[in-house]
Every structure is written in C-alpha cells, then in structure tokens.
Structure 1
Amino acid sequence: MRHDLSVPNLLKLTSFVLWNWLYFFTVEYAPDKSPEWCCRVITFLHGSVATAVGLTQCQFRNLAPWHFSRKLSACQYFLMVWSWGYFAFDLLWCLVYWTESVVMLLHHITALVAITRYMQKDCAGCTYSCTLVLLEITNPVLQTRWFLKHEGYGNTTFYFIVEVLYLSMFLVLRGILGTYLMYYVFNTGYFDWEEKVLSLTFYVVSLAFVYDIAGYIRYKYRNEISEFREFYYATQIYTESEEFRRRALTHSEILNTM
C-alpha cells in the first residue's frame, strides 16, 4: 500500500528539521556553552517571533467576536507550522535531557495536539494566534531572567526587575486574564466543543504553573512578605480598630520569638 506524505505533514516535518538545525548550529558556534544554554537561545527566538507575529494576527487592539469566525490566513497557518516544529523539537530535547517537569511535558504535548487540530480547521486562526500570544509572551522575559542568572547577574537590580516583571506578567496573564478568557470561551457560541476542551487543557496546565510560581514567590520573597505584613499591621495600630490592634500585637510577638 502506498502512503503519500501530505503537504501539512511535510511542512511540519520541515519545521521540525529547521528547529533542530538551528539548535545544532548554535551548539557548533557556541561549543563552550551547555546544551540548556543553546536550547534556551532557540526558545527565546521562538517566543519572540511567536509573540510579535501572533500579536499582529489576533487583532488584540480591536478584538471582536466575528474575528473568531474569519478564514484562516496564510500568515496564521505559517505561524502554526512554525510553532509545531518548535514544540516538537523542545519536547524531544526535554525527553533526551529530562530537565523539565511533567507539567512542562504535558504543556508541549497539548500544544502539538492543539496545533495539529487547528491546522485542520478553516476558522481557527485568530483563536490560535491569541492563545499562542498568551502562552508565549512571557517566554522571552523568562529566558532573559535565566541568562542573567546564568552569567552571574543574579544579584543585580536589573535581574530583580526582570524577575518581578516575569512573575507579575505570568500571574496576571495566565491566572487572571486566562480565567476571564475561559469564561468567555465557554459562554459564547463561537467555539466548538473541541476548542473548548483544548482551551480547558491549556488553562489547567497554566494553573499548575501559577501554583508553582506562587510557591516560588512565597519561598524566595518570604522575608519581604513578612516585612510588608509587619509594616502593614504596625500602621494599623493608630486606627480605632481593635481587630487591627490585636493582629499587630500578635504578629509582633511572633516576630520576637523568631
């Protein structure tokens, strides 16, 4: 039986080969760098291009419901092919080096399944572009944070600004905006059941990341959080609220015992 390679599969395969070539090109011209460093260069490239192109395709400045029913454009299709090859490459890299969590692997697998299905739909270009931007817009900031720390700038003010920017963006975009978008997807008639399931899957994965980041914030900035609480409770002593007085005194006693 003869099996012909379809055009979409050929494009995805070409994209996958291209991303692997870019990775090995980086490895060859940066032999003193680790495999993770080279992979993060590729990740930074994908996140930057995906965000820039995605923003032009999701009509974020004038997003209207009818945009979700527009025909898939050539640029949106190219964006799908571009990202499919990257996620396939990154999934393979993670499986080879096994440096990422199960949540990250699930994220990549879900992305590959979603892109494959979106490529088969006639009117999913705007939906995909908006989803890609939401998922990738924080990635360049994340990679910048990693490179700064890796190169020894982890204790600088600039690193702190980049980290706070990344953490804030992630929590707001994935946590708050993502929740609103899930409500929008499930309460409008512009999305079929499959798009709703894919959106829900991405949302659950995002919540897992949000939970991890919240734990990271509580761990790394516990001293700053404690100082803020102490300052907040102390300022309430001069109010007439007995509840604030009690909480301030109790918190002060706890700090004195530590």
Structure 2
Amino acid sequence: MELAVGVALWSSLFTAVRFILFPSRSHDFSNRIVSLVHAFVALALCTLSLHDWRHPFQPLASPASPAQVRAITVSLAYFIYDFFCCLLEVPFDAATALHHLVSIMGLCYGFLYKVSGTELVGCLWLMEMSNPCMHAREILKELGLSFAITFTIARMGFGPYLTFITLRANNPLTVKLGASGIQIVSVFWFYKIARLVRYKLKKQVKSS
C-alpha cells in the first residue's frame, strides 16, 4: 500500500510540474525537477537512518530498520515512477531505463524481505549524492541561466569577500587597487546580466 501511494505521489508531482507549474517546459525538464526533489529527500532519509555516524556502513548483513525501510520504500516508488516516465521520453534512453530496472530489483528485494538495510541505504546514499548537481545543471541549461548563476555565485558571492580580505591584508597598493577594480567591473557585469535575465524571464512568462 505504501509503495503504491509513493508511486502515485511522485507521478502527481510530475503532473503538477509538467502541466501546472511549467507547462511550456519539456518533459525532461519536469522529470528533472521531480528527480531533484527525490535526490534531496533520499539523501535526508538515508542520513536519518544511520545507526552510528562514526560507522555509517555498520551493521552489515543485518535486518533493515524501520527508518531504512522507509528510505528504501520512498526511493523504490520513485524509481518505478521514473522507469515509466523514461519510457515516454523521446528519444528513448535505454541506458537510463536499464539503470532504473537494476535499481528497482535491488530495492525491491530489500523492500520485500527487509534485509541488508545498511548496504542498500548506503548504495542509495552514494548514488544520489551527485544527482542534485547533475539535474540542477540541466535545469539551469534549459532555463538559460547556467552562466548567470555561476557568475553570481563566483563574482558576487565569493568575490566581495576575497576583495575585502585583500584590502584588509598588508598587500601593496597596486594589488588593492587591482582587486577593487576587478570587483567594480564584476558589479557592472552583474547588473547587465541581471537585466538580461529579468528580460528573459518576463519573456518566458508572457509566452507561457
């Protein structure tokens, strides 16, 4: 019952993203939004199911705890949803479909027999660790915001701090002037990029 509810919830989230929140976006875009949500949920559930932070992969070959079963069930429901979602993707990605089938078989065994909880949750945790960056990159690419986000984080996030500590340190005046000049230029380009992003977003809202 819990598994069926989970599949229904992931499918409902996709439907909401695809047809209500972002109707003008692609099938892949909507599915990646759902995948991004799953990645964070799975990582949180896997982390909360740890028995001992000092020994995260212990105990081995032991019955799955209720917290581990919950993490396995939520992710199994997601992979079942995503497998069928992949079948509708054009062009069809056989490698991704095969990956989902293998994941479903492994998680399904743990779900049915409640065994090897540590191993399955550890594998799930490692698989999902890199997924947020992968999905976020593709989402930003479709939105046309990849460069803008990277520029903002680097130049307007870390840049001012580096400029500040450069000015406070006992650096030559030339270095301080150079750091200040680069930061001023960065602010100027940030302003221009922000205007462009604002224009593109307004255009996208009108077209949808």
TM-score normalised to the size of structure 1?
Answer: 0.53
CA contact (8 A) 2:61 2:119 kept: no
Q: Distance in 1 between matches of 2:64 and 2:84?
A: 29
Q: Distance in 2 between matches of 1:50 and 1:113?
A: 17
- Correspondence for 1:14 among 2, 5, 25: 5
Query: What's the offset of the Cα at 1:136?
Result: 0.8
Query: What's the offset of the Cα at 1:122?
Result: 3.8
Correspondence 1:170-249 to 2 at 5 A: none
1:72 aligns with 2:67: no
Q: Structure 1: 5+ residue runs without aligned partners?
A: 1-9, 163-258
Q: 1:100 to 1:66 in 2, by over 3 A?
A: same
1:125 aligns with 2:123: no
Q: 1:64 to 1:46 in 2, by over 3 A?
A: closer
Q: 1:146 to 1:48 in 2, by over 3 A?
A: same
Q: 1:86 to 1:99 in 2, by over 3 A?
A: farther
TM-score normalised to the size of structure 2?
Answer: 0.65
Query: What's the offset of the Cα at 1:146?
Result: 1.1
SS at match of 1:12: helix
Q: 1:89 to 1:62 in 2, by over 3 A?
A: same
Q: 1:65 to 1:146 in 2, by over 3 A?
A: closer
Query: What's the offset of the Cα at 1:43?
Result: 0.4
CA contact (8 A) 2:57 2:122 kept: no
- Correspondence for 1:93 among 85, 89, 94: 85
Partner of 2:17: 26
Runs of 4+ with >4 A deviation: none
Query: What's the offset of the Cα at 1:34?
Result: 2.1
Partner of 1:151: 143
After superposing the two structures, state which structure 1 stretch, 14-23 or 39-48, moved more.
Answer: 14-23
Q: Distance in 2 between matches of 1:65 and 1:97?
A: 36
Partner of 1:198: none
Q: Distance in 2 between matches of 1:116 and 1:12?
A: 10
Q: How many residues end up aligned between the 2 structures?
A: 153
- Correspondence for 2:42 among 43, 50, 53: 50
Q: 1:71 to 1:137 in 2, by over 3 A?
A: same
Q: 1:17 to 1:65 in 2, by over 3 A?
A: closer
Q: 1:22 to 1:65 in 2, by over 3 A?
A: closer
Query: What's the offset of the Cα at 1:64?
Result: 6.5
Q: Structure 2: 5+ residue runs without aligned partners?
A: 155-208
Q: Distance in 1 between matches of 2:43 and 2:70?
A: 14
